Structure 1
Amino acid sequence: MALTVGMVSIDSTDPVPLARWWAEQLGGNIIQENGGFFVVVSLGEAAPRLGFQKVGDPTPGKNRIHLDLTADDVEAEVDRLVAAGATRVAEHEMPGFSWVTLADPDGNQFCVAPGHEG
């Protein structure tokens, strides 16, 4: 069996601006808007796509799936994301690894950690 991640979908009450925000932050492009009901962002040939689906009432509480992003300079990237509208939620550290949890403009949490070599 060979499965491939084709898309990660995110619920939103207003998916178009959220898709635009993520496309801008990740250097992607909106490739489908589907009347604002389901917006697709491409991050390049090899990367999974992000889908933003219109829902009347998003699931309450912490999102059960989140993006784990990496950056060479975590603090600079976190500062950039906050300036663009993200909210810093928490900083985490464990032996040999640290990361920052943020929330996008809709409140969906995601993490930024140092990139890994090799």
Structure 2
Amino acid sequence: MTLTLGMITFDSTDPGPLAHWWAARANGSIVEENDGWFYVVALAEAPYRMAFQKIEDPTPGKNRVHLDMTTQDLDGEVARLIEAGASELAQHTMGDFRWVTLSDPDGNVFCVSGSH
């Protein structure tokens, strides 16, 4: 028996707007809405889905799991994400590899890497 990643789920006090935000950023679409408490986003170029579930009290502090996104235009994509409501937290370089750490409108941390 093996495991297969089916979904990455985010907790949120208001999951609808966050699901729509990620769907727009990741070229996805909302394929399921369950009475405002659970949303599923299918991604155009990924075999897994993202989900957003309503909870009363999100876990405080830094998330222990985060998304690593890639792009062909790092600076342009970071600018688009910030314009759409993301916040830049840090820029990193390791040799020729460069990435930017951001947070989505709910404060979930994610990274974007790519060429500049």
**TM tier, smaller:** over 0.9
The equivalent of 2:31 in structure 1 is: 31
Moved over 4 A (4+): none
Matched residue type, 2:28: G
The equivalent of 1:64 in structure 2 is: 64
- Residues 42 and 49 of structure 2 are in contact (CA less than 8 Å); yes or no, is this contact kept in structure 1? yes
Uncovered stretches (5+) of structure 1, i.e. residues with no partner = none
- Residues 23 and 41 of structure 2 are in contact (CA less than 8 Å); yes or no, is this contact kept in structure 1? yes
Determine which structure has the larger strand proportion and give its number: 2
Compute the displacement of 1:45 (Å). Answer: 6.9
Uncovered stretches (5+) of structure 2, i.e. residues with no partner = none
**SS of 2:16's equivalent?**
helix
Aligned CA-pair RMSD? 1.3
The whole-number CA distance in structure 1 between the counterparts of 2:95 and 2:7 is 32
TM-score with structure 2 length normalisation? 0.94
The equivalent of 2:53 in structure 1 is: 53
TM-score with structure 1 length normalisation? 0.92
The whole-number CA distance in structure 2 between the counterparts of 1:45 and 1:23 is 12
Percent identical: 58
Count of matched residue pairs: 115
The equivalent of 2:4 in structure 1 is: 4
